[in-house]
Structure 1
Amino acid sequence: MKEYSAFDIGGSFIKYGIVTENGDLRQQNKMKTPDSLGVLIQRITEVVHRHPDSAGIAVSAPGAVSDEGVIYGISALRYLHGPNIKHRLEEKTGLPVFIENDGNCAGAAEVWKGTAREKKDVLTVVIGTGIGGTVIKEGRTHKGANLHGGEFGFMLLGNPDTGRLESWSQLAATRALTRYAEAEKGIEPDTLSGEEVFEMADEGDPACVKALDRFYRFLALGLYNLQYIYDPELILLGGGVSAREELVQRINEKLDGLMREAPVGTIRPTLDVCHFRQHANLLGAVYRFIQNKPAD
């Protein structure tokens, strides 16, 4: 059975492990993210050399990752952007390398071994301080002409409070939730965390209850639009809020209301939560490697 060395490059840590061609994760560990590309390449090479049976290297990375191995866009690790990291790793290790965007890796893991297994047309929507995700059409990741497929957070919606257009991230990410709750409570910005807003709403705090109601409505609006843009079989929700047991139920309640308000739409999104969390990018990177490698 073939085994692959998998790496998930994050702003603070690099997770790594051995993933089999059947999707079993072994020997996972992590190390601090280096301050330079040269040290990053060296650290990855050292890990790979400890596993001489690896059939290849699969890397999950932030940014707009091209098939050629160049990472465009911006991220917390500026040194990743510009050099051809795929070629550098291949030269250092002598192994084939595949690099993919971290959000796309998370979506691929769900299709391979997670909630979306055996589905062909799926969207993943990852809700954090911003909103990102993945488009999977016919079982394959759709990156788009500018490598921005799945950047759902840039979608524009009308904000009834201001009368202005704002991005979905500005209206429905966890930072939007905390900002609105802070304004309702009349307290300083950056006082509350998303987790605190949920906890206070559970305890009946009126401002936080109102903020959550608004949060779920804007999530439902965006998901309704995505359903009619892509017409997926399934939309998976990820990020820290996906651990909330009531998440899907509350969004579905808002979708019910939207479909009563605008009865022209008769197809409602089918929602679920992502199965994988901390190891999704390692598994998904290997699955994308397998999908893209030449036939033996």
Structure 2
Amino acid sequence: MLHSTITPSAKRAAFRARLASGELVRMPGAFNPLSAKLIEEKGFEGVYISGAVLSADLGLPDIGLTTLSEVAGRSAQIARVTDLPALVDADTGFGEPMNVARTVQILEDAGVAGLHLEDQVNPKRCGHLDGKQVVDEQTALKRIRAAVEARRDPDFLIMARTDIRGIDGLEAAKDRAKALVDAGADAIFPEAMADLAEFAAIRAAVDVPVLANMTEFGKSELFTTQQLADVGVNIVIFPVSLLRLAMGAAERGLDTILAEGSLTSRVPEMQTRARLYELVDYAGYSSFDADIYTFDLRNNHN
């Protein structure tokens, strides 16, 4: 009821322990707090907070237009309602190294378990679009060093994302990943890998957890969680999937109103009122009210 009873530090420690175990961490993207509760209930190990989803939710393209305050606010809303660790997309850190340092501390305060910072030039663009540019290696390393230095909770995960594969190839991605780990990155997010062999190559190049991005309509094939685990991937995200599913259903519903004049034919596809009430724990709130608000107002004439 209300918020998670697990502290942010405990979620971070649990996330670190899960990664250390070698078991795959599956992190679907939550597009709001309610979807985060659903992800937890279904038995996943973590929640991902996508910059692309946040941008789209605001009606904006994913080109670095969102602000730190917007990202931190939505991250806090999502992290508060789930016992799962949340990993958030912090784009390029919202500025220069000092801005990156502030980003880390603001997102620590938001209660997430970790963030990832990318090596794109600002304004960035979706990692699966052509025309990306990456910063030089020293600039990328400064971002990670600033993030590590600013971190107050040692369990807060600082992940480095590199987009260099789509520009300079796999060997450059391996070299950049190694350098980012040397700069202090706790994990590596190699964006837009072409196949499983490329994920395996990154896995062999570094000794920290590796993340796979299974976004639909992108550069990477949609490998199964077992395929990814078999090549040593530690975290898999499905960043925009739930939003795409929800928006697809919403569009079909609107078309049905236009075509049929009502949503009668779509009702079987909808989440029921009972299921919604179960997910938001109406029963828990009702019990809380009954136990706390026990006073009798019948004789109150003021």
Normalising by structure 2, we get a TM-score of 0.29
Q: Rg: which structure is higher?
A: 2
Write 1 or 2 for the structure with the bigger share of helix: 2
RCO comparison, higher one (Cα < 8 Å, 6+): 1
TM-score (norm 1): 0.29
